Structure 1
């Protein structure tokens, strides 16, 4: 295959038997929409983990993902594929990649995508015979042809002493006429690094520098690196494996962190330092985030809302895992701010306002309920002792608690209907100024809590059956009142059901 292939007509594209099999299977076994969340990205069937190829191509947002269609457990990795115009309503596309070539026969691992003059460029990690190398495919937004000369980036491109055994997750971008690629790797001392390469043509790559090096004291392999400018600030996010808890930080073992660059220069000349690593999400379920830049200039992040050792819900359905709600990023006063993507506001159905709630024990109102909602709680002053029970009935609840006297907040899904030995509680340190606002996004099987307009986020999956939909407030702060504003997004559920019928 050569760059002269006409990717508009894809006359050179011929799906392999392996890819055809995956595409047919996901059509025949796709999950009905009424068994899935309304507006969180989920696979049609099977297992999903890392988001891949999050990109804009021909004015649509494309999201690929690590995918094993044939069971709800991890297996040989494919790339699933969906598209959206607003990052809320997603349309299924045929599976994009299958492990069907000598250079990726053991799996098409994580990677990225970029719009180019040649077409939609996918760069991914091909796994074969215990080696991990970077491979290229180009397509038209639906079908993707792999370069016969893959891998384009391999052992021969690495610095002396480095191995391609743990070398994966390429993030691709272009500056001027030069292509750049960041990837995670273990150095000769088995310590995690993010390294940078450059290329004039996507095929011939040269090692440039080390962007980030962990010293081995806390965290090993640095998975899924992403490098970008945010409000003119160089930023690197990645997912270090095997971290140790430090106070209320890094409790998940495999974590996701962000690191601001020290120099306000180009991405390619920036350096990042381990001691600046800060946790991205304080919930129970978050890993391998990836970002893209929208045409209007917003930098958007989406992450895998799961944990490697707690794939919630896999026991009673034919799909596993969901992505977080896409988040708009900004960098203010040295902090990464994450807010729910504003397009969700276009889908509000009804709004409930309950103002000046004074808590002296327990408060419940039938206007506070639902499993598809976007609710904001505004406190008159920082909450001291407060709790909210979500997805409640007589036997179930998921509780978020603030205890200022102890300096922490907590997510607890112990009573959410867990049937296996999953992690159920996660604590995080309160912001220095306390908590004066919570925004809670619920979508059937998940809870995302945005603290102080995105200063902190906690993402958690719950297995609670849909009929548990009450919300209960608890508190005893004498001087505290709460305004509770809830936006019903059931309309999104109805839209998903309609789309499901149209596709069928």
Structure 2
């Protein structure tokens, strides 16, 4: 074990003990200490779920990237494992960037990641050189391959850039290993490259999977590529996006490209959409569970909102709740993993409640809940103009979900949640017109909100850092509507 890795493991084990349980979410994974960003190596190894993550243990800001590590038996409760890899070699001394993991035939776990080193050019400019590297281990300890990097600039196709070449996602198919890697071309456009290998160690270039053609942002990060419900999906996170209506927003976003493979195995696009329409979601990665579900997890943060933080927190960054994904009418459907139901506590239900101004319902409150609300017009004609859910409310701080049935727009808003920063606090998305009827499922943890609209047709996520004693929930209508609400309190299981 290198000195850097041993230092990180000693430090995180000590610092973890200082973090009070109530300072963490109940069931969203946070870093063991310090900083977290992208999920890495989301995989199944020896029957357990493993999740690695971009990690800087020493401060709650981005630093030289390590790989944090946790495991779970049910995707909800996570157990920390020791830091997996540290930037301790010449080829990755500036950071062990994002990547993925897979169980090999010999029972070992293979990690594929981007190693970063800095190089000074002839003009004195410092550039980051990004290459692909591997490490092999037993689920706790990993040894980097002696001949890393395994993919360098000389393996890139014509026009591919050598400075932005990162985030390999690995899978095995027909006895071969494959990875897709994000790349920025020399003319500053995103593309996804595919490489193949017989053993997971020695790789050769296979094909360009897809080119951005200057449509969605610039660099395409953190790709994932897999079959789903008879189609082929590519997930990626474009940087520096321009807005398009209410589908895509400025900055760093998420993109799902739905398509199919032709007779030559080439990817043919059919539909493009956002993955998450909220404020905080990036770099999702998926696994295929033993029972055949495709499950996705993402970093519930946005690079442009990292200024929203609690100074008293010894961690920064959290993962989303894992989501089961499927396709319906060639569009992405997302639902919280069904394992969340094993954490249900008290159930409270109210049916056919008439809302005609502002209303609080007895026992409908809390900061760790799974609540489904269905609202509909009281009459055949539209009987209301706006519906609002206010939550994490203590009379001064609160956050809201609003639905405009005339415009068919849902808005999330955290500007009153306690933040002192003028950063992104609102997002809107357009939903299917349902004559004033909508179903909103709200997963609320201590420091986050994830909203699943109309059975998961769209999802909106955001972090909130309001004091956890703010538990009030209320409903408001402009006009009159009928509402059903079912709420489960969420509890940790011993």
Whether 1:148 aligns to 2:146 is: yes
Q: 2:72 aligns with which of 60, 74, 84?
A: 84
The question of 1:378 aligning with 2:366 is answered: no
**Matched ranges for 1:53-64 at <5 A:** 53-64=41-52
1:315 aligns with 311
Q: TM-score, normalising length from structure 1?
A: 0.91
State the match for 1:294 in structure 2: 289
Is 2:2 the counterpart of 1:16?
yes
What are the Cα deviations for residues 325-348 of structure 1, in whole angstroms up to 9, with x where unaligned? Answer: 000011111111000010010111
Partner of 1:475: 477
1:73 corresponds in structure 2 to 61
Which runs of no fewer than 5 residues in structure 1 stay unpaired?
1-14, 499-504
Matched, 1:305 2:303: no
- With over 3 angstroms needed to count, the CA separation of the structure-2 counterparts of 1:47 and 1:361, relative to structure 1, is same
Out of 353, 376, 388, which is 1:357 matched to?
353
Q: How does 1:67-216 map to 2 (within 5 A)?
A: 67-118=55-106, 119-129=108-118, 130-216=128-214
Contact 1:120 1:141 in 2 (8 A): yes
Superposition deviation, residue 409 in structure 1: 1.3
Match of 1:279 in 2: 274
Pair 1:367-2:363 in alignment? yes
SS in 2 for 1:280: coil
User: What is residue 124 of structure 2 aligned with on the other side?
Assistant: none
| 8 Å contact from structure 2 (residues 39, 284) kept in 1 | yes
**Paired residue for 2:402?**
401
For the aligned residues, what is the CA RMSD?
Answer: 1.6
Matched residues, number: 475
Distance in 2, Cα, partners of 1:116 & 1:197? 17
Trace 1:208-357 onto structure 2 (pairs within 5 A).
208-263=206-261, 269-273=265-269, 276-311=271-306, 312-357=308-353
1:453 correspondence with 2:441: no
Measured in 1, the distance between the counterparts of 2:156 and 2:262 equals: 27
- Distance (Å, rounded) in 2 between the aligned partners of 1:98 and 1:105: 8
SS of structure 2 residue aligned to 1:29: helix
Q: Is the 8 A contact 1:232 1:264 kept in 2?
A: no
Q: Normalized per residue, which structure has more strand? A: 2
Counterpart Cα distance in 1 of 2:419 and 2:246: 24
Indicate the SS of the match to 2:341. helix
- Return 5+ residue gaps in structure 2 as ranges: 119-127
Q: TM-score, normalised by structure 2?
A: 0.93
Shift of 1:264: 6.7
